[in-house]
Chains A and B, each alone.
Chain A
Amino acid sequence: MHDLLDDWAQCNALRETSAILKLFLGLGAIIICVSSVTPSAPLFVAASMSLIILILAKIPIRIYSRLLLLPLSFALLSSTVVALMHGSGEMLYSMQLFGLEIGVREDGAALALLLIARTFGGMCSLFFIALTTPMIEIFAVLKSLRIPESVIELSMMIYRYIFVFLDQAAMIHSAQVMRLGNLGTRSALSSFSMLASVLFLRSWEQGERLIVAMDARCYDGRLDLMEERKGAGALEIAATAAFLALALAISLMTGEEGILRMGG
């Protein structure tokens, strides 16, 4: 019925790789991306993450490109504004709008490019985590990081029931569409409000049934958190470390140049 990120996280070629390593790689790459002062490192990260996702994790390019489209369009829009509003330096392009001169200056263009590169790199890294690591594995990592168990248990329940409610919402929505509940703005709006209220009531009832179901199996405040997982291999750890070191090196080296150039 729906195409979910979660489905891909469950069945991709990197599913069995150690979750903590994947998280470390993804988060490390994100930090390098957002802290880099030049576009080179983020672009390098974006390119390599995309390759990892497409080749190693075997996610179809159709799915991946559609996923990237949304954040990318946001990034393009906002960086256009930044390019127009920002900075000093040589005027690269200008035009007259309602008697006002607006244009892109060197500085603004560089910042816009950096912004796009950072967003792009960051999104690719985030999608790497989202597409290769199922939530349950993340819960297991959270547990090993000593996050309070009640927080993890609660998030596990929420995670589980998201899908139940998603199904219900989809069904209610179809029921409304079938009876033309989305014809015109007014009726679409009222249909949506109905959907929201019904969904709220249903989740309330589901909560009550959940308590019964747990009580029926002797609930005593304990939930089995996922069992131990095999650790990462030495080769995988080395590759991850090498990749992050390389990205960091690119970031630092081009960063120095960038600062020098700005200074000069």
Chain B
Amino acid sequence: MATILETRGIEYAYADGTRALSNVSLTIEEGRKIALVGPNGAGKSTLMLMFNGILRPDAGEVLFRNERLDYDSRSLRKVRQRVGMVFQNSDDQLFAPTVYQDVAFGPVNLRFPPEKVKRYVGYALQYVGLSGYERRPPHHLSGGEKKRAAIAGILAMEPEVMILDEPTSNLDPATSEEIMEMLDELNLGGKTLIISTHDVDLAYRWADEVVLMKDGGVLRRGSAEEVFGDLELIRDARLKPPMVVDLYQELVNRGLAEGKKPPKSILELCDSLEGGERRCAVQGAKRGTIYVCNADELLLENANELVVKVDADYTGAMGTRAKLMAEEAKIRVDFTYGVIDKCILKALAGKSCLVLTSQGMMGQVQKRIEAYSQQSGEEINSVDLSSGSNGRSLPIDRDFVGTKSLK
């Protein structure tokens, strides 16, 4: 995969002499989800400000697509369009008096023609689920809405890389998960994402790659399992192991769990418990079915009817558009994040689930369930409720067109 961002031997000290970064060399590949993890004062935020040229290193260099950053206004403009940054405190970022003006700020300064500005702003607001908030002033938004607006402001500039400094700080757990899910959606759309966090659970679950930082340097870089599996290293960095890993270690010590590597999620943890003969014991239980419906194709009027007809034990909504639709149709949603895992868990327990999702994520849902079935040997039935047409008729009327039994 192509390298998109690179730092070579970066050194940086603040005006008061505090050393913030020393000899940081890092390459970031396109399309990855990367978490910078480390204690307070490790230099995460400083490093992030290097990536789009807000700070200039005292020594070393920053490269974007193998091109050295020159810090003249032209190259800065270029890199800042490609590398968008969402600040930790949304109030720092939302400076315009209305949401629309704020989101339009980037495109206007990139000199997009007015028609294009309008289109991009509309698209960005729709993406983050803030359509209809155009004329609201930021001080009338909740914390989660502010974060969404801030993300929209960056999205409207069409960046290739998005950097988010502590994206979930000050947000309630459900909002945090929704923001992270939105980032997943963006990543599926091809954006490279870099976040900083000290929420180890979040980094462990979300990131493809973890960069552990301490005292202005990179301590370790690798996959989440690799970095967080090294308990000594984690303690050194004033962090704690993710809850799942911690619990897993204790269960292994007591001989209650088995497996070669630490589980990445609660689902995997449960599997490591049920492994071997234990699985046979619950074999008798009937597995539930997961119904997957493309919310983009579903008409609002039909949504409730569908829910009644499918009559699933649980309903989950994945992606911003599906959630908005569920809200509009007043569908009671049980899961708004980690939906696939939750549904597999419920299906294993013999319950049926309905997943509302968007066009772009349909494939991902199917793939994930399929992968799980193959890996675990569990038979989980998933049913695609796509109508195939433009949604004029209720898909379920076609007698489950596209029904697909896996395994």
Q: Which residues of A contact B (CB under 8 A)?
A: 6-7, 10, 134-136, 139, 156-157, 159-161, 163-164, 167, 206, 209-210, 212-227
Q: Tell whether, in the assembled complex, residue A136 and residue B117 are in contact, meaning their CB atoms are under 8 Å apart.
A: no
Q: Tell whether, in the assembled complex, residue A136 and residue B135 are in contact, meaning their CB atoms are under 8 Å apart.
A: yes
Q: List 6 A-B contacts (CB under 8 A).
A: A136-B98, A136-B135, A160-B94, A215-B54, A218-B81, A218-B109
Asked whether any CB of chain A lies closer than 8 Å to the CB of B95, the reply is yes
Q: Tell whether, in the assembled complex, residue A223 and residue B96 are in contact, meaning their CB atoms are under 8 Å apart.
A: yes
- Residue-wise, chain B 46-82 has the 8 Å CB interface mask toward A (1 for contact) of 0000001010000000000000000000000100110
Q: Tell whether, in the assembled complex, residue A164 and residue B91 are in contact, meaning their CB atoms are under 8 Å apart.
A: yes
Contacts known (A164-B91, A227-B100); A217 close to B140, Cβ less than 8 A = no
In the complex, what's the smallest C-beta–C-beta distance from B86 to chain A, in angstroms?
9
Q: Tell whether, in the assembled complex, residue A222 and residue B95 are in contact, meaning their CB atoms are under 8 Å apart.
A: no
Contacts known (A213-B87, A216-B52, A219-B109); A224 close to B95, Cβ less than 8 A = no
Contacts known (A160-B137, A224-B105); A218 close to B93, Cβ less than 8 A = no
Q: Tell whether, in the assembled complex, residue B137 and residue A216 are in contact, meaning their CB atoms are under 8 Å apart.
A: no
Q: Tell whether, in the assembled complex, residue A160 and residue B111 are in contact, meaning their CB atoms are under 8 Å apart.
A: no
For A225, list chain B residues within 8 Å (CB). 101
Interface SS of A by simple majority: helix
Q: Which residue of B lies closest to A153 (CB)?
A: B96
Asked whether any CB of chain A lies closer than 8 Å to the CB of B97, the reply is yes
Complex: how many Å from CA A29 to CA B60?
Answer: 66
Q: Tell whether, in the assembled complex, residue B105 and residue A217 are in contact, meaning their CB atoms are under 8 Å apart.
A: yes
Number of chain B interface residues as a range: 35 or more
Contacts A7-B140, A164-B139, A218-B109 known; list 17 others, CB within 8 Å. A136-B98, A160-B94, A163-B137, A163-B139, A213-B87, A213-B92, A216-B84, A216-B87, A217-B84, A217-B109, A218-B106, A220-B77, A221-B109, A222-B111, A224-B105, A226-B100, A226-B135
Complex: how many Å from CA A164 to CA B146?
Answer: 13
| 8 A Cβ contacts from B131-164 to A | 135-140, 153-154, 157
Asked whether any CB of chain A lies closer than 8 Å to the CB of B252, the reply is no
Q: Tell whether, in the assembled complex, residue A218 and residue B157 are in contact, meaning their CB atoms are under 8 Å apart.
A: yes
Complex: how many Å from CA A163 to CA B91?
Answer: 10
Complex: how many Å from CA A160 to CA B93?
Answer: 11
Contacts known (A164-B139, A210-B95); A220 close to B80, Cβ less than 8 A = no
For B111, list chain A residues within 8 Å (CB). 220, 222
In the complex, what's the smallest C-beta–C-beta distance from A160 to chain B, in angstroms?
5
Complex: how many Å from CA A210 to CA B94?
Answer: 9
For B93, list chain A residues within 8 Å (CB). 213
Q: Tell whether, in the assembled complex, residue B157 and residue A217 are in contact, meaning their CB atoms are under 8 Å apart.
A: yes
The one of A156, A213, A216, A221 that contacts B97, using a Cβ cutoff of 8 Å: A156
For B81, list chain A residues within 8 Å (CB). 218
For A220, list chain B residues within 8 Å (CB). 77, 109-111
For A213, list chain B residues within 8 Å (CB). 87, 92-93, 95
Complex: how many Å from CA A133 to CA B403?
Answer: 55
Asked whether any CB of chain A lies closer than 8 Å to the CB of B347, the reply is no
For A217, list chain B residues within 8 Å (CB). 80, 84, 105-106, 109, 153-154, 157
Asked whether any CB of chain A lies closer than 8 Å to the CB of B104, the reply is yes
Contacts known (A10-B137, A216-B54, A223-B101); A160 close to B109, Cβ less than 8 A = no
Q: Tell whether, in the assembled complex, residue A224 and residue B108 are in contact, meaning their CB atoms are under 8 Å apart.
A: yes
For A134, list chain B residues within 8 Å (CB). 135, 137
Q: Which residue of B lies closest to A167 (CB)?
A: B139
Q: 4 shortest A-B CB distances, which residue pairs?
A: A163-B139, A224-B104, A217-B106, A220-B109
Q: Tell whether, in the assembled complex, residue B105 and residue A160 are in contact, meaning their CB atoms are under 8 Å apart.
A: no
In the complex, what's the smallest C-beta–C-beta distance from B268 to chain A, in angstroms?
38
Q: Which residue of A lies closest to B118 (CB)?
A: A227
Q: Which residue of A lies closest to B106 (CB)?
A: A217
In the complex, what's the smallest C-beta–C-beta distance from B198 to chain A, in angstroms?
21
In the complex, what's the smallest C-beta–C-beta distance from A237 to chain B, in angstroms?
23
Q: Tell whether, in the assembled complex, residue A226 and residue B98 are in contact, meaning their CB atoms are under 8 Å apart.
A: yes
Q: Tell whether, in the assembled complex, residue B80 and residue A216 are in contact, meaning their CB atoms are under 8 Å apart.
A: yes
Q: Tell whether, in the assembled complex, residue B109 and residue A157 are in contact, meaning their CB atoms are under 8 Å apart.
A: no
In the complex, what's the smallest C-beta–C-beta distance from B396 to chain A, in angstroms?
40
Q: Tell whether, in the assembled complex, residue A212 and residue B54 are in contact, meaning their CB atoms are under 8 Å apart.
A: yes
Q: Tell whether, in the assembled complex, residue B80 and residue A136 are in contact, meaning their CB atoms are under 8 Å apart.
A: no
Asked whether any CB of chain A lies closer than 8 Å to the CB of B37, the reply is no
In the complex, what's the smallest C-beta–C-beta distance from B14 to chain A, in angstroms?
13
Complex: how many Å from CA A6 to CA B138?
Answer: 12
The one of B80, B91, B109 that contacts A222, using a Cβ cutoff of 8 Å: B109
For B92, list chain A residues within 8 Å (CB). 206, 209-210, 212-213
For B118, list chain A residues within 8 Å (CB). 227
Asked whether any CB of chain A lies closer than 8 Å to the CB of B85, the reply is yes
Q: Which of B106, B111, B157 has the most CB of A within 10 A?
A: B106
Q: Which residue of A lies closest to B110 (CB)?
A: A218
Q: Tell whether, in the assembled complex, residue B137 and residue A136 are in contact, meaning their CB atoms are under 8 Å apart.
A: yes
Q: Which residue of A lies closest to B150 (CB)?
A: A213
- Residue-wise, chain B 22-46 has the 8 Å CB interface mask toward A (1 for contact) of 0000000000000000000000000
Contacts known (A156-B96, A210-B92, A213-B92); A218 close to B80, Cβ less than 8 A = yes
The one of B89, B117, B140, B154 that contacts A224, using a Cβ cutoff of 8 Å: B117
Q: Tell whether, in the assembled complex, residue A214 and residue B95 are in contact, meaning their CB atoms are under 8 Å apart.
A: yes
For B104, list chain A residues within 8 Å (CB). 224
Complex: how many Å from CA A160 to CA B97?
Answer: 5
Complex: how many Å from CA A21 to CA B73?
Answer: 44
For A164, list chain B residues within 8 Å (CB). 91, 139
Q: Tell whether, in the assembled complex, residue A136 and residue B97 are in contact, meaning their CB atoms are under 8 Å apart.
A: yes
In the complex, what's the smallest C-beta–C-beta distance from A162 to chain B, in angstroms?
9
In the complex, what's the smallest C-beta–C-beta distance from A171 to chain B, in angstroms?
13
For A163, list chain B residues within 8 Å (CB). 137, 139
Complex: how many Å from CA A134 to CA B139?
Answer: 13
Q: Tell whether, in the assembled complex, residue A224 and residue B101 are in contact, meaning their CB atoms are under 8 Å apart.
A: yes
Q: Which residue of A lies closest to B105 (CB)?
A: A217
Complex: how many Å from CA A134 to CA B95?
Answer: 17
For B87, list chain A residues within 8 Å (CB). 209, 213, 216
Q: Tell whether, in the assembled complex, residue B97 and residue A135 are in contact, meaning their CB atoms are under 8 Å apart.
A: yes
In the complex, what's the smallest C-beta–C-beta distance from B338 to chain A, in angstroms?
31
For A227, list chain B residues within 8 Å (CB). 100, 118
For B136, list chain A residues within 8 Å (CB). 10
